[in-house]
Amino acid sequence: MSDYIIQTIIVGISETLEMTIVSSLLAYVVGLPLGILLYATAGGRMLSNKKINFILGLVVNICRSLPFLILLVLLIPFTRFLTGSSIGTGASIVPLTVGAIPIVARMVESSLSEVSPGIIEAASSMGASPIYMIIHFILPEATPSLIFGAAINMATVLGYSAMAGVIGGGGLGAIALQYGYYRYQKDVLWTTVTILVILVMVIQECGGEISRRSRK
């Protein structure tokens, strides 16, 4: 491989990490509250509300069932509106975030659902309000599971970021596509794929370790 390619790959790694980290963080800004709402408004819960729960659930399910590649294309006008461009790393962050939000929401909902009903009963018996219960009982109890879920989400976003290469996003995915696929440079293809695999593993392992340490 030429120096130029190596240089390109190094830039690609930093672009991929940027897309993954920024999109994941942004996805949590919306996905975490959404997941909490999905959890709390479900039947029999502290803020049980059938209508809201149904509508949120429907929106999340529709967004999740769209293939990410389709979402990428569908969101082009929106991306252009937000970032002024539809190509490049910055532009990729928009569809990545939008695509990750419903996944984050479901993951958060699932982590919160694992909290033992006994904890909720204890909180109710103390006279805690629903908001207090969520902030001081449910979220702390679910923290290790939330962290583990976050690692899975980040790995998913990383995978999606490679797909963003198809419509002109940056990062390792774009390099693999352009040099490896269109120009038959197998060595570049395998190098980028290997780096992607390593990145996913590092994210997953770090997330798992932080989650384990946080579990008291």
Partner 1 sequence: MSEVFRLEAVSKNYTNEGKEFQALKNISLEIKEGEIFGIIGMSGAGKSTLVRTLNRLEEVSGGKVFFCGQELGELKPKELRRVRRQIAMIFQSFNLLSQRNVLSNVMQPLRIAGIARGKRKEKAMDMLKVVGLEDKKNEYPGRLSGGQRQRVAIARALAADPKVLLCDEATSALDPKMTGEILELLKRINDSEKLTIVIITHEMSVVEKICDRVAIIDEGELVEIGDVKEIFRNPVSEAAKKLVYPSNPFDPTDRSRKLIRLVFDGLSASRPFISELVEETGKKVNILSANTKSVGGIGYGQMVMELPEKEADQKIVTDFFIKKGLSVQEVKK
Which residue lies nearer to partner 1 by CB, 17 or 47? 47
Looking at residues 142 to 171 of the shown chain, list those that interact with partner 1 (rule: CB under 8 A): 143-144
Stretch that binds partner 1, among 5-13, 28-36, 72-80, 134-142 (CB under 8 A): 134-142
Q: Is 47 in the site for partner 1 (CB under 8 A)?
A: no
CB 108 within 8 A of CB 14: no
Question: Tokens in use for 8?
Answer: 């390109």
Looking at residues 52 to 71 of the shown chain, list those that interact with partner 1 (rule: CB under 8 A): none
Which residue lies nearer to partner 1 by CB, 65 or 125? 125
Q: How far is the CB of 128 from partner 1 (least distance, A)?
A: 5
Which residue lies nearer to partner 1 by CB, 183 or 215? 215
Question: Tokens in use for 181?
Answer: 């696929």
How far does the chain reach from its first CA to its final CA, in angstroms? 48
Which residue lies nearer to partner 1 by CB, 126 or 202? 126
Which residue lies nearer to partner 1 by CB, 91 or 120? 120
Q: Is 43 in the site for partner 1 (CB under 8 A)?
A: no
Q: How many H helices and E strands in the chain?
A: 10, 0
Looking at residues 99 to 128 of the shown chain, list those that interact with partner 1 (rule: CB under 8 A): 116, 118-119, 121-122, 124-128
Question: Tokens in use for 159?
Answer: 């995978």
Q: How far is the CB of 49 from partner 1 (least distance, A)?
A: 14
Q: Is 140 in the site for partner 1 (CB under 8 A)?
A: yes
Question: Tokens in use for 186?
Answer: 């197998």
Of 151, 168, 18, 145, the C-alpha closest to 85 is: 168
Contacts of 20 (CB under 8 A, 6+ apart): 96, 154, 157, 158, 161, 199, 203
b/e code 20-53 from CB counts within 10 Å (16+ = b): bebbbebbbebbbebbbbbbbbbeebbbeeeeeb
Q: How many residues bind partner 1 (CB under 8 A)?
A: 21
How does DSSP classify residue 170? -
Binding site for partner 1 (CB under 8 A): 116, 118-119, 121-122, 124-129, 132, 136-137, 140-141, 143-144, 214-216
